[in-house]
Every structure is written in C-alpha cells, then in structure tokens.
C-alpha cells in the first residue's frame, strides 16, 4: 500500500523513522499544519476577512484553548482543552518562536528520554502547566493557547540532563552579538526573566508567564526524579536563541 503514496510523503516518513528525534519533528509539523489551516494564519479564505475573521479567531481560540472559568465550571469536555491548546497558536511570531525552541532543545531531550516517554512528558507537563495557570486565574474568561508550557518543561529537563551544553544566546543589550554560554547559565537566566516578568505582567490578555514557570519547574523536577544524580549527559554544543514567546 505504501507504494501508492506520494513519493515525497514516503521519503518524509522514512526520514522521521531514521532520525533520533522523530516525535520532536512530528510535534513541530503538527503545530505548523494546525496553524496554517486555522483562522490565525490568514491562509484559509473560508474564515472570511475583517470582522468575520476576527470573530472566527475568537471562537476558534475559545473552543480549542483553555478558558479558566469554563475549565472549572463548564462542561466535561473543557477538561480536554489544556491538551488541545498545546497545538494552537495565536500568530506567526508565537508559532515560530515556540517551534524554534522545541527544535533546538527537543531533539536532544527526546534522544535521552526515548520517543514514547518524551511524548508523554511533553503533553503531560504541558497540560499541567496550563492547568496551573488556569487554577491561578480561575475566573478569567480569556482564552489561553500555545505550547509554551510544554516547551518550558523541555527546557527544564534539558537543564538537568545537559547542564554543560553550550547554548548560543542573542543578548539585546550587547547589540545581539551571538555569545555561547553553558545551559546552566542561560536557562536559569531565562527562568529568572519569566519570574520578573510575571510580577510586572498586567491583568488581561498577554504572555502566560506563570505557565512558563510551572512547565519549567515540572520539567526540571521530572528529570531530577526520573534520572537521579549521576546520569547527566555531557552534550555537544547546541545553538539556541534567548527568550520565549507567549502562548
């Protein structure tokens, strides 16, 4: 049967099968595909334009995203939204920023954990990160979408598993010069920025910094409990930008 498939699709499946991190690339592909087919991309004319498009986007995010007030007081199906929201993004910048981080940090983490364990870890931590945000904002009617909570968990696990991996950071106060630091410097600095930003964040729509922090803590804690001391891997240098985009 596979012989009747499009040759490009066959080559893609074979490349995913042979790579050491197929689930990382599959998650990236799924997020990108869902975004392109959704109303936020602007590529699907059936959603209309102008006010009609804006209304379609609000309905789409409310249906598939996490609405804290509905999650705790709404129908049972709302319990699924912390999982579906992981695959929904609000803009091109939001999508590309998250997928860049997943691409850089996900492959090595998946290779260390294994395909099945990494997938369950990603979805489970992402679910709990969004649930934690919702619990802290239980009366909010704002939709929350994005993979940032899950990706933050990957960053936390990466920090424990590969603390000496060299990470390329672009620092704005140094004119965006690419500088390489070990993960144990860059990732705690990133987490500290999320903590500081959380204290300055206004109420209402914006970046869910709390979901980032919950995800990061869950990932770091999981790696510490699951792998224990003495199992850290000395990794080859891994390039990465500094920062994180909102869910």
* Residue 221: partners with Cβ closer than 8 Å, 6 or more residues away: 156
Kindly name the residue from 143, 148, 152, 169 that is annotated as catalytic. Answer: 148
Q: What is the pLDDT of residue 176?
A: 40
CA distances from 120 to 128, 131, 200, 219 (A): 12, 16, 33, 12
Report the pLDDT value the prediction gives residue 174, as an integer from 0 to 100: 38
Residue 148 is among the residues annotated as catalytic for this protein: yes
Cα–Cα distance between 79 and 186 in angstroms, integer? 34
pLDDT one digit per residue (tens) for the chain, 247 residues = 444 445 554 454 454 455 689 999 999 999 999 999 999 998 888 888 889 999 999 999 999 999 999 998 878 889 999 999 999 999 999 999 999 999 989 999 999 999 999 999 999 999 999 999 999 999 999 999 999 999 999 999 999 999 988 776 654 433 344 556 678 787 888 888 888 888 775 555 557 889 999 999 999 999 999 988 655 555 544 444 433 334 4
The Cβ of residue 19 has, within 10 Å, a number of other Cβ atoms equal to 15
pLDDT at 201: 59
Q: What pLDDT, on a 0 to 100 scale, did the predictor assign at position 42?
A: 86
The rounded radius of gyration (Å) of the Cα atoms in the chain is 19
Q: According to the model, what pLDDT value does residue 29 have?
A: 97
Confidence at residue 170, expressed as pLDDT on a 0 to 100 scale = 52
Position 181 scores a pLDDT of 66
Among residues 89, 94, 140, 212, which one is catalytic? Answer: 212
At residue 177, the 3 state secondary structure works out as: strand
CA gap 65, 55 in Å, rounded: 15
pLDDT in the model for residue 178: 55
- What letter does residue 242 receive in the DSSP assignment? S
Q: Which residues have C-beta within 8 Å of that of residue 203, sequence separation ≥ 6?
A: none
CA–CA gap between residue 27 and residue 15 (Å, rounded):
15
Distance CA 153, CA 13 (A): 27
Are the CB atoms for 65 and 85 separated by under 8 Å?
yes
Handedness of CA 19, 20, 23, 29 (dihedral sign): negative
Q: List the alpha helices (DSSP H) in 19-90.
A: 22-37, 50-64, 68-73, 81-84
Catalytic, 203? Answer no
């Amino acid at each position: 049967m596979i012989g009747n498939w499009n040759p490009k699709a066959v080559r893609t499946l074979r490349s995913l099968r042979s790579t050491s991190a197929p689930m990382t690339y599959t998650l990236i592909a799924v997020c990108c595909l869902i975004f392109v087919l959704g109303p936020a991309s602007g590529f699907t004319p059936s959603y209309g334009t102008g006010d009609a498009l804006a209304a379609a986007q609000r309905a789409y995010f409310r249906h598939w995203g996490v609405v804290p007030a509905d999650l705790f007081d709404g129908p049972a199906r709302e319990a699924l939204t912390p999982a579906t929201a992981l695959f929904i993004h609000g803009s091109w910048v939001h999508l590309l920023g998250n997928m860049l981080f997943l691409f850089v940090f996900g492959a090595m983490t998946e290779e260390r954990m294994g395909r099945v364990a990494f997938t369950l870890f990603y979805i489970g931590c992402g679910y709990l990160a969004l649930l934690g945000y919702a619990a802290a904002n239980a009366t909010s009617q704002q939709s929350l979408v994005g993979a940032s909570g899950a990706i933050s968990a990957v960053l936390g696990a990466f920090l424990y598993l590969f603390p000496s991996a060299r990470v390329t950071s672009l620092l704005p106060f140094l004119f965006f010069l690419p500088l390489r630091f070990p993960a144990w410097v860059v990732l705690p600095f990133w987490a500290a920025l999320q903590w500081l930003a959380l204290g300055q964040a206004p109420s209402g729509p914006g970046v869910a910094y709390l979901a980032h922090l919950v995800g990061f803590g869950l990932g770091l804690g999981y790696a510490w409990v699951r792998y224990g001391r003495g199992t850290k891997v000395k990794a080859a240098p891994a390039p990465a930008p500094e920062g994180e985009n909102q869910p």
